[in-house]
């Protein structure tokens, strides 16, 4: 038995070594298609294009970016799923695509794609204009209890659920307004169309200028810019949103290609001299590079957690 285990371990070690070696020599057999699940010109799109630029410069690979937008990244996930798994097609999505969105749409299981690596997290917060006078989420809840109708801007279905649960746990009901993208939340706040809203990091500049205030952290940890902002748990909400940007390949992707592309991308986003790293630091609170089993586990958890959030918001 011991022998078998040792042999298995050796074989596994060899396999890892072999993959590593393969990854080092791996070159794409042709141009790589990069599907971007976000609107051209937005923060996520810029991030993907900067990474693509750097991949071309460092490795001489040819990257062809292409927009495949819509349905919270599901269109891109479906499109990448069936592509050739030899490393000539990858997609930029968010973990939420393979978690809540895939679950809610009932459109398949996360193994429809091969996760490569994350690139960045988010600074998800409840945001309001400073001029509105709220200091923390508690003030908003108090105002709502006092009879003020509060419009809550959200940019994805899971955040809409979350906004609802925040209200439910505190005995109030928000008017939940769905808008397209974080920029639209910012515009809605400024125009007075909504009172509070979620920001995934785009609020950083306005917060440091004092125009906006982060009322609560929606992450599982405190916010980088407002470390004193309360956590959602303080309001009886057990859910949080730790969405990360990630790249994925087709289902059943060649392990050598997976390892090589993941490593190449991680090198870039972790290199403080790269434009991609600087961009991520500015807009998304710094690079986060999780890959392999750890990433698979995060996605699996996000997928199974979706049920609980949906159940909580269906009550």
- Enumerate binding residues for other proteins (CB under 8 A): 29-31, 33, 39-42, 45-46, 49, 62, 64, 66-72, 74-75, 78-79, 84, 88, 101, 104-107, 149, 151, 157, 160-161, 164, 173, 175-180, 183, 187-188, 190-194, 205-206, 209-211, 313-314
Which residues, 6+ apart, have CB-to-CB distance to 264 below 8 Å? 55, 58, 59
Q: Which is nearer to other proteins, 33 or 59 (CB)?
A: 33
Work out how close the CB of 25 gets to other proteins at its nearest, in angstroms, rounded to a whole number: 17
Work out how close the CB of 160 gets to other proteins at its nearest, in angstroms, rounded to a whole number: 7
Q: Phi then psi for 151, rounded to 5 degrees?
A: -95, 125
CA dihedral 199, 205, 209, 211 (to 10 degrees): -30
Q: Which is nearer to other proteins, 174 or 291 (CB)?
A: 174
d(CA 235, CA 55): 44
Q: Which is nearer to other proteins, 128 or 288 (CB)?
A: 128
Work out how close the CB of 303 gets to other proteins at its nearest, in angstroms, rounded to a whole number: 14
Q: Which is nearer to other proteins, 13 or 70 (CB)?
A: 70
Confirm if 153 and 225 have CB atoms less than 8 A apart. Answer: no
d(CA 299, CA 289): 14
Q: Which is nearer to other proteins, 154 or 244 (CB)?
A: 154
Q: Phi then psi for 147, rounded to 5 degrees?
A: 105, -5
The one-character DSSP state at 101 is I
Q: From start to end of 130-174, where are the E strands? A: 151-154
Work out how close the CB of 98 gets to other proteins at its nearest, in angstroms, rounded to a whole number: 13
Work out how close the CB of 237 gets to other proteins at its nearest, in angstroms, rounded to a whole number: 14
């Amino acid at each position: 038995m011991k022998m078998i285990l040792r042999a298995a371990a050796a074989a596994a070690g060899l396999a890892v070594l072999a993959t590593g070696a393969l990854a080092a020599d791996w070159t794409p057999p042709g141009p790589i298609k990069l599907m971007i699940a976000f609107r051209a010109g937005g923060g996520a799109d810029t991030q993907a294009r900067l990474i693509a630029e750097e991949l071309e410069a460092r490795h001489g690979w040819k990257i062809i970016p292409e927009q495949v937008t819509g349905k919270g990244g599901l269109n891109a996930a479906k499109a990448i799923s069936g592509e050739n798994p030899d490393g000539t097609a990858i997609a930029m999505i968010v973990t939420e695509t393979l978690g809540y969105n895939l679950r809610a749409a009932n459109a398949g299981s996360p193994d429809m794609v091969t996760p490569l690596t994350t690139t960045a997290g988010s600074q998800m917060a409840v945001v309001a204009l400073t001029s509105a006078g709220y200091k923390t989420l508690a003030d908003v809840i108090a105002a709502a209890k006092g009879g003020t109708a509060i419009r809550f801007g959200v940019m994805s279905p899971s955040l809409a659920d979350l906004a609802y649960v925040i209200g439910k746990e505190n005995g109030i009901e928000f008017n939940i307004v769905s808008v397209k993208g974080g920029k639209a939340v910012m515009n809605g706040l400024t125009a007075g169309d909504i009172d509070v809203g979620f920001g995934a990091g785009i609020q950083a500049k306005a917060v440091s200028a004092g125009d906006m205030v982060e009322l609560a952290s929606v992450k599982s940890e405190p916010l980088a810019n407002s470390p004193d902002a309360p956590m959602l748990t303080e309001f009886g909400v057990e859910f949080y949103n730790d969405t990360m940007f990630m790249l994925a390949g087709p289902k059943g992707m060649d392990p050598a290609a997976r390892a090589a592309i993941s490593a190449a991308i991680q090198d870039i986003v972790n290199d403080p001299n790269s434009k991609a790293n600087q961009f991520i630091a500015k807009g998304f609170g710094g690079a986060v590079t999780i890959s392999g089993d750890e990433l698979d586990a995060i996605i699996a958890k996000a997928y199974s957690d979706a049920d609980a959030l949906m159940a909580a918001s269906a009550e």
